[in-house]
Amino acid sequence: MDERRRAVALTAITLSNDFLRCHVIFDTDSETSDSDLDEGDMRRRFQLRGGRRKPPRIKNYVEVTVPRFNTQQFRRHFRMTPATYENLEARLSPILSLSEGKAVIPLRKQLLGSLWLLATPDSYRSVGERFDLAKSSLNKSFMRVVECLNDISGQIILWPRGQDLDRVKADFNQNSLLRGIIGAIDGTHILIKAPKIDSQYYRTYKKTYAIILQAVCDARMKFTDCFAGFAGSVGDLRVFRNSDLWREIQIDKQSFFPNDEFIIGDKAYPVLTWCISPYIDRGQLTAAQIKFNTVLSSKRSVIERAFALLKGRFRRLKFLDMNVDEMIPHVIIACTVLHNICLDGIDENDVEDFIQEGMEMEIEEAYARNIPNEEAGEVKRQYLCALVTEA
């Protein structure tokens, strides 16, 4: 009986020593290195870890799996049709295919991996596993794609001029007496992770963190001007006053509105000869003014749909979690460039599914007026209101 107890005790001691040895191996705070372990410890570590190997990744996803997708499958995953993707790849190929004269990650893998990141809230780790890329390689590819899209933004996001201006006016003026509209303007919040610097400045009144995207779009939801980077605590009017669009129009209004055209906005925007907003309802609006507001609202809703389409297509914009805060505006602009490229696609007509995905409650800013209404703008609004009333 004593011998049996002795044997049990020896077994317990042996197991205890093994446990303590394993505990040291798995302690992530331990400073023990491989060179400090004897051969037995090294063998035991190898057995416990199952050998050293790279994280498992999907092989040949881009080369084998993606080509098998039909149009709907490809569109569901990458948020654009194959034809639109081919157009995008052709545009970016000269820049992405080479880097300082040396071959890099295959172009298609870089671009599809980046599109997947923008189209989903998936982590870098999971996307890297799918596209057989290390996290650092995926991050580098993503940044390069974002930079390329920003570089071509001036070719894709264009203010309408010439024949395009006539087309835009015709689109807006269908079934309406509000002649001369060439765009709808508004701002939207892109929610972000709390930034490292000046966090309070980025907080909205709903206590979320955000960056503002101000955009103008045409009647087909294509963006004709985009401006991103102001913190979520800033009102739409202040963003408008500090935007590139405002400054450029002050310099040469005629080049933007050659025939007295104008854009339309909500009540946060001032009444100018080139920017018309609705009458403020303080309970004293006339029937004509109410009708005018209704017509204006129906025309202005296109910018809300454009924002919904943008966020529905590129779901990463519903919440941006990035370590490099200064890159956030560039990612936002990259998505607006892709938005326009997709709308140019010959087979990208049905986008209601994306719009429904992007519909959400927008944060309404408190009404403030830091830019006084122009007297000429008020006269122009009264004239437009009379046109609507006579219909």
Kindly indicate the confidence band of residue 241, based on its pLDDT and cuts at 50, 70 and 90: very high
Looking at the predicted structure, is the pLDDT value of residue 205 above 80? Answer: no
Looking at the predicted structure, is the pLDDT value of residue 207 above 50? Answer: yes
Q: What is the pLDDT of residue 21?
A: 42
- Residues 214 and 274 occupy one common structural domain: yes
Backbone angles phi, psi at 218, to 5 degrees: -95, -175
Looking at the predicted structure, is the pLDDT value of residue 245 above 90? Answer: yes
Residue 12 placed within a domain: no
- Residues 77 and 225 occupy one common structural domain: no
Do residues 51 and 71 touch, judged by C-beta distance below 8 A?
A: no
Do residues 221 and 302 touch, judged by C-beta distance below 8 A?
A: yes
- Residues 212 and 293 occupy one common structural domain: yes
- What would the 3-class secondary structure string for 110-154 be? HHHHHHHHHHCCCCHHHHHHHCCCCHHHHHHHHHHHHHHHHHCHH
- Residues 167 and 120 occupy one common structural domain: no
Higher-confidence position of 317 and 28: 317
- Residues 208 and 93 occupy one common structural domain: no
Cα–Cα dist 85/302, whole Å: 25
Kindly indicate the confidence band of residue 364, based on its pLDDT and cuts at 50, 70 and 90: very low
Residue 28 placed within a domain: no
Helix (H, G, I), strand (E, B) or coil at 175: coil
Task: Give Cα 108 distance to the centre of its chain.
Answer: 21
The maximal CA–CA distance of the chain, rounded, in angstroms, is: 111
What is the helix (H) or strand (E) element at residue 39, kind and residue range? helix 39-49
Q: What is the pLDDT of residue 54?
A: 60
Do residues 142 and 114 touch, judged by C-beta distance below 8 A?
A: yes
- Residues 348 and 221 occupy one common structural domain: yes
Domain boundary, last residue among 155, 170, 197: 155
Do residues 239 and 230 touch, judged by C-beta distance below 8 A?
A: yes
Q: What is the pLDDT of residue 39?
A: 52
Domain boundary, last residue among 121, 155, 189: 155
Please tell me the least confidently modeled range out of 121-125, 251-255, 263-267: 121-125
- Residues 244 and 358 occupy one common structural domain: yes
Residue 16 placed within a domain: no
Q: What is the pLDDT of residue 371?
A: 72
Higher-confidence position of 165 and 352: 165
- Among 216-220, 362-366, 367-371, the range with the most confident prediction by mean pLDDT is 216-220
Kindly indicate the confidence band of residue 372, based on its pLDDT and cuts at 50, 70 and 90: confident
Looking at the predicted structure, is the pLDDT value of residue 51 above 70? Answer: no
Q: What is the pLDDT of residue 32?
A: 40
- Residues 100 and 204 occupy one common structural domain: no
> Measuring CA to CA, how many Å separate 79 from each of 302, 340, 351, 385?
20, 13, 10, 41
Residue 91 placed within a domain: yes
Mean pLDDT of 295-306: 94
Q: Please tell me the total count of domains within the chain.
A: 2
Number of C-beta neighbours around residue 356 at 10 A: 11
- Residues 127 and 84 occupy one common structural domain: yes
Kindly indicate the confidence band of residue 67, based on its pLDDT and cuts at 50, 70 and 90: very high
Count Cβ atoms within 10 A of the Cβ of residue 385 and give its class: 0-12 exposed, 13-18 middle, 19 or more buried. Answer: buried
Which own/partner pairs from 47-56 qualify as long-range (CB within 8 Å, at least 24 positions apart)? 48/22, 55/125, 55/129, 56/129
Report the mean per-residue pLDDT for the chain: 83
Higher-confidence position of 387 and 77: 77
Mean pLDDT of 103-108: 80
Looking at the predicted structure, is the pLDDT value of residue 35 above 80? Answer: no
Do residues 224 and 167 touch, judged by C-beta distance below 8 A?
A: no
Kindly indicate the confidence band of residue 233, based on its pLDDT and cuts at 50, 70 and 90: confident
Number of C-beta neighbours around residue 381 at 10 A: 23
- Token pair for 305: 């749909």
- Residues 318 and 218 occupy one common structural domain: yes
Do residues 307 and 358 touch, judged by C-beta distance below 8 A?
A: yes
Which amino acid, one-letter code, is at 111? L
Please tell me the least confidently modeled range out of 90-104, 205-219, 302-316: 90-104
- Residues 130 and 83 occupy one common structural domain: yes
Looking at the predicted structure, is the pLDDT value of residue 13 above 70? Answer: no
Kindly indicate the confidence band of residue 196, based on its pLDDT and cuts at 50, 70 and 90: confident
- Residues 68 and 139 occupy one common structural domain: yes
Mean pLDDT of 219-231: 96
Residue 49 placed within a domain: no
- Token pair for 376: 């000429």
Kindly indicate the confidence band of residue 158, based on its pLDDT and cuts at 50, 70 and 90: very high
**Per-residue pLDDT tens digits for 14-25:** 544 443 444 333
Looking at the predicted structure, is the pLDDT value of residue 177 above 90? Answer: no
Domain boundary, last residue among 155, 181, 214: 155
Query: What does the buried/exposed string (b/e) look like for 252-288 if buried means 16 or more CB atoms within 10 Å of the residue's CB?
Result: eeeebbeeebbbbbbebbbbbbbbbbbbeeeeeeeee
Residue 13 placed within a domain: no
Domain that holds residue 71: 54-155
- Token pair for 158: 């264009």
